[in-house]
Structure 1
Amino acid sequence: MRIVGGAWRGRRLASVGKGDTAAHLRPTTDRVRESIFNLLVNGGHADALDGTRVLDVFAGTGALGLEALSRGAATATFIEQGRKSLSILRENIDLLGADARVHARDARRPGPGTPHDLIFLDPPYGQSLGEKAIAALRDQGWIAPEALIVWEEAAPPILTGLRHIDQRKYGDTTVTLAKME
């Protein structure tokens, strides 16, 4: 894995190796990540990156949030609870010298937070965790009123309280763009 664009373009990220099968590590591939950021920029959401506050939920390796920092986001906050994922996430932050915050907690019970403008949501597929996390994050103040949400899932998610913007399929990954209603 590597950063595909921006100031850190080409920089390698920590190897996931065989990962931890119990952790269900499924990093967003470079190709899908590049497609997501092209969709943001070319889909009229370029301002979603410039100086924004990014929240990477179910962060895993942190590749999405770190990519956003590389491309001009002001801050990145990561929510992840898996021990192996947290280790790789912190290693990636250190490798890039990124100024980022990590919250080691369950995204469905995040506790109070500050509003973020761009939300990356990449829950384990097929477990309906994304819907529960979005509700909790909204209720706890993590999501700004006009936040753009980039949601990765195997199938199109249920967008309760969200307005559908766009949706694309990349192999077994469906990427949905939505905004808070």
Structure 2
Amino acid sequence: MNKVISILIFAAFILTFTGCKKKRNNNVIYDTIGRKIEMNIHKCHSTQFTILRYIDNPSCTSCQLKLGEWKIYHKKLKKKFGDKVNLFFLCETKNIKDARFLFEIYGFDDMAVVDSSINFYDTYKLNPILGKDVVFLLDSTNTILSIGNPNDNLKIDSLFTSLMLGNFSKNK
């Protein structure tokens, strides 16, 4: 009987702890949405939206960047939205040469900044709980509208698309 009670108390503790962690992560996301990323990511032309991907110190640069998947996603964006949506990569790595080479091979060299000391979270006063590989949907003023990787999650892709289509219909 004592063993069963101990297991139930332990299970309740674990559920409480994981629930608090999820709530804390959600709070970080809600606190981040609406913040501005003050950087010039609209180099060539102004766009209504930018999908900004930040990658911090990838252990395997080519594996973690998954630029082949992003190339396909970029084509999908171009087909659906034309030049109204832009992709931008911000990669903080010690393998600067390798990362720049990969971005060049995939045709993202003009859409990527690679550096060894970006300090993204400190610079933009964002919470590092967001992770080492995070994707933001930004509007034309670089305000964060949503967070999530549309390549990894169809619901996030649908959310990004809905947000972009909603804004486009207002401007027509």
TM-score under structure 1 normalisation? 0.31
- Report the structure number with the largest CA radius of gyration: 2
Structure showing the higher strand proportion among its residues? 1
In the superposition, the TM-score normalised over structure 2's length comes to: 0.32
Whose relative contact order is higher, 1 or 2, with alpha carbons under 8 Å and at least 6 apart? Answer: 2
Structure with greater helix percent = 2
